Structure 1
Amino acid sequence: MKYYRDEGIVVGGHKLGEADRIVVVLTRNHGLVRAVAKGVRRTKSRFGSRLEPFMYVDLQCHVGRSLDVVTQVELLEPFAKGLGSDYDAYSAASVMAETATRLTEDEPHTRAQYLMLLSALRSLCNREHPPRLSLDAYLLRAMAIAGWAPSLVDCAQCGAPGPHPAFSPALGGAVCSACRPQGAALPSSETVLHMAALLSGDWERARAAALHTMTEASRLITVYVQWHLERRVRSFAVLD
């Protein structure tokens, strides 16, 4: 029988039968893994609580025909415990987990996304930054890793030097007047600078932004992510 061992973050799952559960784990070396955790919903399960969403675990799986089977789990960091006591942090983590799943489900090389999610969840647990700022920074960086970094200065369409007044998620970010499509957003220059600070990790500038600037940036980032993922991220609803 073939086994493999890896560390990963539980990003989702759903019930299977009366006592089992299919867990979805973003791993360091094996990409996005879907595996059956047998008996995990029973009260006396050996590792039920270790496979809750946001748990950082070391797991061993048996390779199955259609789905792998979890045979052993060791807890590395209980992110779920630290996030469960703060609704805003838990909501942000939910969006992160779903976005990471969407970005990696068809990708063979996912280590960079795994490390980005691990860092973001740890930051949320440690309350290093306000949850929504941490989420927006994660979303911009995760999209950049996936090859969809927004242009925040030069025109995303023709490359004309910026800054430019309009922002189009469909075209890749900032656009000049000549390339601006109908209905493009017209964010303030402060909003674009705030997004650039989040993307680059300039937390001093990001935290100093006005509330309306942060709010406008969050709306743009949400639309940008969902446009390029070509699907609705359902967990965004918990932020409204």
Structure 2
Amino acid sequence: MAKAPGKPKLAVWKFASCDGCQLSLLDCEDELLAVAGAVEIAYFPEATRGVLKGPYDVSLVEGSVTTPHDLERLKDVRRQSRSLITIGACATAGGIQALRNFKDVKEFTNIVYAHPEYISTLEKSTPIGAHVEVDYELRGCPINKHQLLEVLTAYLHGRKPNIPSHSVCMECKLRGTVCVLVRGAAACLGPVTHAGCGAICPAYNRGCYGCFGPKETPNPQSLSPRLADRGLDERALQRVYRTFNATAEAFQKESERHDA
């Protein structure tokens, strides 16, 4: 098929991650056909072996920076990209692998690897925005495919993405789910977590785990006493904020307040 002239070039890049957010793009199925018709997929190893050289109009970046090589490659990606959008908890907040940031990574490598001297890694797992300018951050573990399509559409048409900034609590209200905190069913991070998942966990009588990271002005220090009322001690309060978005600023500061 002949290349359509003037199509924007899209690149999808992977750093330290599980590939789940890239799979969210592939999971768009029918909508992906529309995306493929609107852009030229220039670099996306998860989907195709075909590679076109930059520069790229839009780059989607998944994963965190964990090695010196990652850092150099990221700088090159930024140089080639007109717009750089980070997707997922790893890219926006360091991911689950950022739990290493609270310990000595050398101790981990000495325990896990027979020859730790062969391992070249940074002391911390850091988000993309800690190293280069980011044009937009799309949160989630994994991201919401509908939000991803909205962000892509917005950037292709030169407008601001229409992504809700409210908390998971609003999603519970919209789907008619009774608050698990009010019922005393579970500890829940819904009041401080960015919407996007559709409040799946509370709908199944589970507390929110904070997969989409802190919402705007989250105020977790006001939530923690409520969680303590549900039986969480200092250690448990620390751990509840240290999951997928452990080094997101609001969650990290609150977890550090509960250092045992």
TM normalised by structure 2 equals 0.28
**Structure with more of its chain in strand, by fraction:** 1
TM normalised by structure 1 equals 0.30
Larger relative contact order (CA 8 Å, sep ≥ 6): 2
